[in-house]
Amino acid sequence: MKKGFDNKKYVEIQSKKIKEKINEFDKLYLEFGGKLFDDYHASRVLPGFEPDSKIKMLLELKNITEIIMCINAKDIERKKIRADYGITYDMEVLRLIDEFQNLGLSVNSVVITLYTGKESSKKFINQLEKRGVKTYVHTPTKGYPTDVDVIVSDEGYGANPYIKTTKKLVVVTAPGPSSGKLATCLSQLYHEYKKGVKAGYAKFETFPVWNLPLKHPVNVAYEAATADLKDVNMIDSFHLEKYGVTSVNYNRDLAVFPVLKAILHKIIGKDIYYSPTDMGVNMIGFCISDDEIIKKASRQEIIRRYYKSLCDYKIGEAEEDAYKRIRLLMNELEIDPLKERPVINVAREKSSLEDLPVIAMELNDGKIITGKKTEILSPASSLILNAIKEINNIPDDVDLLSKSVLEPILRLKPLSNHSSKSLNLEEVLITLSICSVTNPIINKAIKNLNKLSGLEAHASFMVYNGDLNTLKRLNINLTCDSVFYSNNLYMSD
């Protein structure tokens, strides 16, 4: 994979920027948007960006850092799912706490925002407290968003409990957007200033990239990724008016800024920011080393988001306007998926010819291989076995799966919860691992699985959870046609 992003430079200058902001205050509350761990969107649109770069940067500051996690009570109640992991937001909070603590980062507490006393939220609070995690609840802020005098009073932010923090940098993060991070930061600022502590606020949001053009593919890819939220990138008019400098932000931040500016002035006693761009500390735009590589990668991401939105609409998990919005973005950049993503036509043509579900994948040398459904293998399983043979120069007639290992697994398959009788990709990889004990060729092949990372693939059907999650873990960039695998209403593979 060609790199267009300098990750080492990013970690260095991002840490420096945050340190500079910390030094402006007695204590800094840093609202951390996006993903601290596993930011695969960033790594896809910025080849060379390492998915855990932001957490590495934070580890540079861990001696002065503690973390507050926020989760919206409504997301607990409706069991909102984090799409990349397939787990609910409340479970993601638990996962993140484990990740932070394993790295030696101090987790102060969890805040349940917009709390109304629903039973599901109470159960989650009880679960946290039983595990020794300090938990706070914030109810809807009285007067928000219009009555600043009430918001910044004991009836507004003052009604929330004060969270005692001891470190100079307090990172406020969450499992996803609209989790109440900003309100938690401002509530803490209100309490800090009442206690005589000169605390500050800043925002670390990776996308859109403020110092790239409005219609740069990186920024358009962010719009595509948030099409369901109806986010729209815009020129920061406040920044342009104040400084005469063009910068990019998005509609929600621009809409809320006049209120936020008034609230901060009321709490602190003066203006400290004159635009949404002022509040940010993101330095990612300064670390692009090859813009052409970045543009090409971002155009691929827009295509991927388009096909995902089509599938989400097909299964009833998204509105029609989401994929239509992305299609408009593609039209603006003159993106033709069939020309820019050759695996689409290959998968469709082979599927039509064979009358079977097919996945096609492009290798690093440009060769496209395919995998189709067989009597015992899912299309994803066939694809990965074929890919293993290709990248390891194993003859096509060599059976990678030993019959002596395969037969008992196939006998047990009907006892599983899966509706399909074919072996899914995870089962095939486990079988390969067993076979590798006695077969050095397979052992070497498994070690080369990392060569599949970052490859582009397309399925002539919608790949379901089992194979989809395994392909994600292999870091294969998959798109799918919005076609059901079969007529069965329940599909577990």
pTM: 0.91
Identify the pLDDT of residue 488: 60
**pLDDT at residue 465 above 90?**
no
Identify the pLDDT of residue 417: 55
**pLDDT at residue 54 above 60?**
yes
Under a CB-based contact definition with an 8 Å cutoff, are residues 301 and 295 in contact? no
Provide the 10 A C-beta neighbour count for residue 275: 23
Identify the pLDDT of residue 419: 55
**pLDDT at residue 414 above 70?**
no
From residue 434, alpha-carbon distances to 48, 406, 416 in Å are 34, 10, 19
CATH superfamily of this structure's domain 342-493: Domain of unknown function (DUF1846), C-terminal subdomain (3.40.140.40)
Task: Give residue 396's pLDDT band: very low, low, confident or very high (50, 70, 90).
Answer: confident
Task: Give residue 415's pLDDT band: very low, low, confident or very high (50, 70, 90).
Answer: low
Q: What are phi and psi of 376, to 5 degrees?
A: -120, -5
Percent of the chain residues past pLDDT 90, beyond the cut? 81
Task: Give residue 441's pLDDT band: very low, low, confident or very high (50, 70, 90).
Answer: confident
Identify the pLDDT of residue 444: 87
Closest CA to 57 of 92, 26, 30: 30
Q: What are phi and psi of 367, to 5 degrees?
A: -70, 140
Identify the pLDDT of residue 298: 98
Among left, alpha and beta (phi > 0; psi -120 to 50; other), residue 244 is left
Q: Where in the chain is the domain with CATH 3.10.630.10?
A: 7-211+247-287
Identify the pLDDT of residue 398: 83
What is the mean pLDDT of the segment spanning 16-37? 93
Pick the CATH number of 7-211+247-287 from 3.30.470.10, 3.20.20.70, 1.10.3720.10, 3.10.630.10: 3.10.630.10
Q: Where in the chain is the domain with CATH 3.40.140.40?
A: 342-493
Listed in sequence order, the residues at least 6 apart from 470 whose beta carbon sits closer than 8 Å to its beta carbon are 380, 424, 425, 426, 429
What is the mean pLDDT of the segment spanning 421-435? 89
Q: How far apart are CA 428 and CA 400, in angstroms?
A: 10
Identify the pLDDT of residue 401: 83
Give per-residue pLDDT as tens, 187-246.
999 999 999 999 999 999 999 999 999 999 999 999 999 998 888 999 999 999 999 999
Identify the pLDDT of residue 487: 62
**pLDDT at residue 138 above 80?**
yes
